[in-house]
Amino acid sequence: MKITILTLFPEFYESYLNTSIIKRAISKNSVEVHICNIRDYSLDKTKRVDDIPFGGGNGMLLKCQPVLDALRAVKTENSKVIYLGPTGKTLHQSVARTLSKEEDLVILCGHYEGIDQRILDYVDEVISIGDYILTGGEVASLVLMDSVIRLLDGAITESSHLDESFENGLLEYPQYTQPRVFEGKEVPPILFSGNHQAIDKWRRKESLKLTKEKRPDLFEKYSLTKQDKKLLDEIENNKVGKWEERAIEGAKKFTKNKEA
C-alpha cells in the first residue's frame, strides 16, 4: 500500500514513521509513506496557502490552488482521496479494515479553520476521528494511518487481530503477565490451568462482561450465541461456572501430583 499525506507540517511525521510497528511495516515494504508539503505548491510569491473566508467569520481557510495542485501532483488513477475533518463519517475498525484493502491512499490534512468547500469536490471520502475538534488534520491522519497500517500483512501477526476490541463486535478480555502476584493483586487462576478450552471460555465471558458494562451500545448490536447466553446468565447472577471450577481444580490436582 502507498499512503501519501498532504500537509503543511511535514516535520510532524518524522518520529512516528521511525517508530516500532510502523517502521517495521515500512522496512518490510508493506507500506510506503510519502509526505507532501502543500506549501511547496503555492503559486503565491510569499508561499501563502490560506486566506480569510468570504462573508466574514473566524480564522483562515486553506485555498484551492495549492491544495489541488499538490493533490494533482501525487494522485494516480488508483488513489482514494480522504480529507480529515470533523464533518466526516466517524472512523471505526470496520472503516480501517476497508481502507487497508486500498492500494493508494491520499490523505489531506486541513488546518486553520478548514478548507475552501470546493476542494471537497476532489475528495472521495471525509473521515472524522471523533466528535471533538482538533487544531488540524495531522493528529487525525496519524490515528487513521496507524489503524490502517497495523492491519497490513507484515505489520503484526494476523492472529493478534482476532480477539482485539471491535474486531468481533466485543471489547477485548483483560490480559496479564509476570509477576503472578503484584502488590497483592493476583492473576485469575484459570489462566494457569493449562486448559485452553476453559481459558477461551473465560476470556469470552470477560469480553461479554466488559462490553455489557462499558459499551452497552456495542453489546446491544452484538448477536449472542447459545454459549454466550449461558455465560451471560453466569455474569448476571454473579456465578462462577462449573466448567471454570473444574478447570481450576484440575490444575491444582495436577500441580500437587507433580510436587508429590
Q: Which residues from 67-86 bind ligand ADE, rule CB under 6 A?
A: 84-86
For ligand ADE, which residue of 11, 56, 133, 258 counts as binding (CB under 6 A)? 133
Helix, coil or strand: residue 107? strand
Of the pair 146, 172, the CB lying nearest ligand ADE is at: 146
For ligand ADE, which residue of 7, 42, 128, 195 counts as binding (CB under 6 A)? 128
Query: Measured between alpha carbons, how far is 8 from 83 in angstroms, rounded to an integer?
Result: 14
Query: Measured between alpha carbons, how far is 35 from 242 in angstroms, rounded to an integer?
Result: 57
Of the candidate spans 28-36, 53-61, 94-102, 133-141, the one that interacts with ligand ADE by CB under 6 A turns out to be 133-141
Of the pair 86, 189, the CB lying nearest ligand ADE is at: 86
Binding status of residue 140 toward ligand ADE by CB under 6 A = yes
The CA-CA-CA angle for residues 222, 226, 230, to 5°, reads 95
Of the candidate spans 128-136, 150-158, 178-186, 193-201, the one that interacts with ligand ADE by CB under 6 A turns out to be 128-136
Beta bridge partners of 50: 62
Query: Measured between alpha carbons, how far is 259 from 66 in angstroms, rounded to an integer?
Result: 74
State yes or no: cis peptide before 66, omega within 30 of 0: no
Cβ atoms of residues 88 and 125 within 8 Å: yes
Binding status of residue 181 toward ligand ADE by CB under 6 A = no
Chain residues binding ligand ADE by CB under 6 A are: 84-86, 128-130, 132-134, 137, 140
